[in-house]
Amino acid sequence: MKIKRLRIGVFLMAVFGGLQLLSAQKAPQFGKASIDKLIEGMTPEEKAILLVGPGMPGYAGLVPLEGEPDVRVLGQAGGNDKIDRLGIPETVFADGPAGLRIQPKRQNNPNTFYATAFPVGTSLASTWNIDLIKSVGKAMGEEVKEYGVDVLLAPALNIHRNPLNGRNFEYYSEDPLVAGKIASAYIQGIQSNNVGTSIKHFAANNQETNRLAVNAHITERAMREIYLRGFEIAIKESEPWTVMTAYNKINGNYASASNDLLTTILREEWGYKGLVMTDWFGGYPGFESILEEGSVSDVVAQINAGNDLLMPGTEAQREVLAKAIEDGTINEAAVNASLRRILEYLQKTPTTNKYKYSNKPDLKAHAEVARKAAAEGMVLLKNDNNALPFTKKSETIAVFGDHSYSFIAGGTGSGDVNEAYSISLLEGLNNAGYTVDKELQDLYEPFVAKAVENENKRREAVGLLADNKRLPEMLLNTDLVASKAKSSAIAVITLGRNSGEQFDRKIDDDFYLGQDEVKLINTVSKAFHAEGKKVVVILNIGGVIETASWKDKVDAILLAWQPGQEGGNSVADVFSGVVNPSGKLTMTFPIDYNHHASAANWLGVPVEKPTDVYYKEGIYVGYRYFNTFDVEISYSFGYGKSYTSFEYGDIKLNQTTFNDQIEVSVKVTNTGNMEGKEVVQVYVSAPANLVDKPLEELKAFGKTKTLKPGKSETLKFILKAKDLASFVDEQSAWIAEKGTYTVKVGASSEDIKAKKEFLILSDITAEKVNNTFDLDVEMSTLKN
């Protein structure tokens, strides 16, 4: 498939004559003239240049380029275009959530431009540690700034509606409070460097299958309580410089052309002042249509709705827009508002402020940040008879599984990072001074190298649209494994999964283990247990997999996620007990894929290429569903073990009748033998007379500092009316109903340690809002 070059060419030449004429007059200059004067002095073509990006000139990866393009940062995803006559500079946007994604090498340049691969979104969120996420953001943002980039296209916080979404690894949680708080901390960290972020994908981009055109039918209540709430929290708390709209439609309108989403809610209700840009080619109905000569998204609808900047921009979009501005067929006020927001954005960029970037961020210091964050994001799912930590460094570890030798640092697609190195599990164990069985290593290394080579060849042959396939596991000789069970002290098996943009994960051989993997676990467990030795499984995955059918066969399971470039070292830190695990799940691990309420309507219809997806589960996403409908799960939302133990004291409420806020406090004590941290979760069960409600919902969370054995900390949480409220459609309002509320403080959504009640005497309208997101079809949703 030949992909057309998107650089503005003919169009610019056509307007060149006009611009020359104008430049003879005195043109208002960006930075000197007021924004009003600048807008007044712009031609329709110049307005179109500012509102539509210049294509992807430096994006090595998608658009095949001859030689090296003339861009500031090779590998940037895009940016706004410059207008020399008005002194308007171009600025640079680059991906993505796990670190800065740029090309690490440039022609005729001896320097390298590697960035740090930080842990992926699910891993970061699993820390539940706001300060830690801020430190990750601060480090990542320093790379953005020092490599001359103005905006990082992150964070990504779409809700995990279903475990199969191919991009769940970039996202944080099935719960909007967790997603919103983590995103907020991330944005604050990055923007403390005076560079921008782009919170994405706004909103309801919950599947990759036909993501450019699928129409998601969602009730207003599910939109407001689940799919928008995380954005609302993050945007209000952290003021990201930019917002990136989602590809999909919501109830018939493209997110990038939705007035409800971008004007009524984002700007009028939430007070957002920043810039909104489309996702790349957002509003084009499909990949093929992007490539079609002259095809164009509905640019007029997009700008009218409040989507300021069309990215990455095409020549056809500029032409259509310039003509609409000239003819007056587009709302002039909307055009001017968008231009103003772009110019206001430009005023604060490092580019405009002439920041002299070094191209030398402190990669060494940031690797340490990545290592620490990854270790804290690991979730100890199982640890029978204290299989971990394993401290006997002089004894041999038998290391099984392809991904022990080829560890996955992060997912694929725009969320990938070009890091200088990545530490495998094997290297991590070696660095920590462990002894690893050499014979297994010698068998695995060539096998894995070949499997990786085959996979790379397959991907190359398929081209741009190649999906991820996991590596097949080596068939092990049972005698060999039996001999290893005798000669080693413990077995480690790593299971890996990778996924990324454009594809959702499969049920078979991805969510569920493949037969080769089942065999691996069976063979190793049988042999090692026969010798009275333990088996530890390391999960090197980006999203949820099935665990119920095999978890009883092994002694410990450490969910390491895709932990970034220091991954092997981070696993070794937890394996050895240098770090006491304190991560907890931000999503449920179900027993069966079909137990998820969304499974019945996942991806939509028609099956071959879904154009319509119905969110019939309504607000019952994740634990909201499992807990309310009493569906047994494998590991619950909020779950995670520690090498120590914690005791929770009684809950204290500062009042028993709610006034305008209530303070919840609880004392947590480390009752074990090792120092550690504990994630404390506050759930609330609310009266449900006006509308049905989940059995309980997470309303606040916190993490203790490191507590030495015997030490305690009291955590305090404030709950306001909006936190307690549900969205009542008939009244277009968030209402905290009158009645009895139960506060439940727990170590997970299933492990509630203490409860206390309080009363609301009469219904409180926490917020009156507009009527938005009318359904475009008849659809009934799940009720409790």
| Residue 467 binds ligand BGC, judged by CB under 6 A | no
Q: Which of residues 235-294 bind ligand BGC (CB under 6 A)?
A: 279-280
Q: Which is nearer to ligand BGC, 53 or 746 (CB)?
A: 53
Q: Which is nearer to ligand BGC, 248 or 685 (CB)?
A: 248
Identify the active-site residue in 81, 95, 150, 279.
279
Please report how close the Cβ of residue 605 comes to ligand BGC at its closest, in angstroms.
Answer: 23
Residue with tokens 């969510």: 511
Q: Which is nearer to ligand BGC, 414 or 704 (CB)?
A: 414
| Residue 204 binds ligand BGC, judged by CB under 6 A | no
Q: Which is nearer to ligand BGC, 63 or 752 (CB)?
A: 63
Q: Which is nearer to ligand BGC, 204 or 571 (CB)?
A: 204
Residues 6+ apart with CB under 8 A from 739: 686, 687, 689, 759, 760
Give buried/exposed letters for 213-223 (b at 16+ CB in 10 A, else e).
bbbbbbbbbbb
Please report how close the Cβ of residue 404 comes to ligand BGC at its closest, in angstroms.
Answer: 30
**Backbone CA torsion sign across 623, 683, 125, 679:** negative
Q: How far is CA 783 from CA 256, 265, 515, in A?
A: 30, 26, 38
Tally of CB atoms within 10 A around 728: 16
Please report how close the Cβ of residue 98 comes to ligand BGC at its closest, in angstroms.
Answer: 12
Q: Which is nearer to ligand BGC, 97 or 746 (CB)?
A: 97
Question: Which string of x and - marks every residue 95-124 that binds ligand BGC (by CB under 6 A)?
Answer: xx----------------------------
| Residue 727 binds ligand BGC, judged by CB under 6 A | no
| Residue 200 binds ligand BGC, judged by CB under 6 A | yes
Q: Which of residues 545-574 bind ligand BGC (CB under 6 A)?
A: none
Please report how close the Cβ of residue 616 comes to ligand BGC at its closest, in angstroms.
Answer: 26
Please report how close the Cβ of residue 96 comes to ligand BGC at its closest, in angstroms.
Answer: 6
Among 348, 116, 107, residue whose Cα is nearest residue 240: 348
Please report how close the Cβ of residue 462 comes to ligand BGC at its closest, in angstroms.
Answer: 18
Q: Which is nearer to ligand BGC, 124 or 485 (CB)?
A: 124
Question: Which string of x and - marks every residue 484-503 that binds ligand BGC (by CB under 6 A)?
Answer: -----------------x--
Q: Which of residues 400-429 bind ligand BGC (CB under 6 A)?
A: 414
Based on C-alpha coordinates, what's the Rg of the chain?
27
CB 509 within 8 A of CB 496: no
Q: Which two tokens stand for residue 623?
A: 């634990």
Q: Which is nearer to ligand BGC, 279 or 427 (CB)?
A: 279
Q: Which is nearer to ligand BGC, 280 or 528 (CB)?
A: 280
Q: How far is CA 224 from CA 218, 533, 696, 769, in A?
A: 10, 51, 17, 10
Please report how close the Cβ of residue 131 comes to ligand BGC at its closest, in angstroms.
Answer: 26
d(CA 187, CA 238): 6
- Residue 81 DSSP class: P
d(CA 459, CA 510): 18
Question: Which string of x and - marks every residue 290-329 that binds ligand BGC (by CB under 6 A)?
Answer: ----------------------------------------
Q: Which is nearer to ligand BGC, 208 or 617 (CB)?
A: 208
| Residue 504 binds ligand BGC, judged by CB under 6 A | no
Residues 6+ apart with CB under 8 A from 445: 405
CB 56 within 8 A of CB 312: yes
| Residue 153 binds ligand BGC, judged by CB under 6 A | yes
Please report how close the Cβ of residue 133 comes to ligand BGC at its closest, in angstroms.
Answer: 19
Q: How far is CA 708 from the centre of its chain?
A: 33
Q: Label each residue of 118-170 as H, E or C.
A: CCCHHHHHHCCCHHHHHHHHHHHHHHHHHCCCCEECCCECCCCCCCCCCCHHH
d(CA 254, CA 183): 24
**According to DSSP H, which parts of 469-614 are helical?**
478-487, 515-530, 567-576
Task: Confirm whether 279 is a catalytic residue.
Answer: yes
Residues 6+ apart with CB under 8 A from 517: 473, 495
Q: Which is nearer to ligand BGC, 121 or 361 (CB)?
A: 121
Please report how close the Cβ of residue 59 comes to ligand BGC at its closest, in angstroms.
Answer: 7
| Residue 77 binds ligand BGC, judged by CB under 6 A | yes
- The count of residues interacting with ligand BGC (CB under 6 A) is 9
Residues 6+ apart with CB under 8 A from 66: none
Q: Which is nearer to ligand BGC, 79 or 568 (CB)?
A: 79
d(CA 713, CA 711): 7
Torsions phi, psi of 651, nearest 5?
-80, 140
Question: Which helix (H) or strand (E) is 766 found in, with range?
Answer: strand 764-768
Peptide bond into 610 cis (omega under 30): no
Burial class (CB in 10 A: 0-12, 13-18, 19+), 385: exposed
d(CA 401, CA 492): 8
Residues 6+ apart with CB under 8 A from 331: 303, 304
Burial class (CB in 10 A: 0-12, 13-18, 19+), 705: exposed
Judged by the rule CB under 6 A, the positions of this chain that interact with ligand BGC are: 77, 95-96, 153, 200, 279-280, 414, 501
| Residues with catalytic function | 279
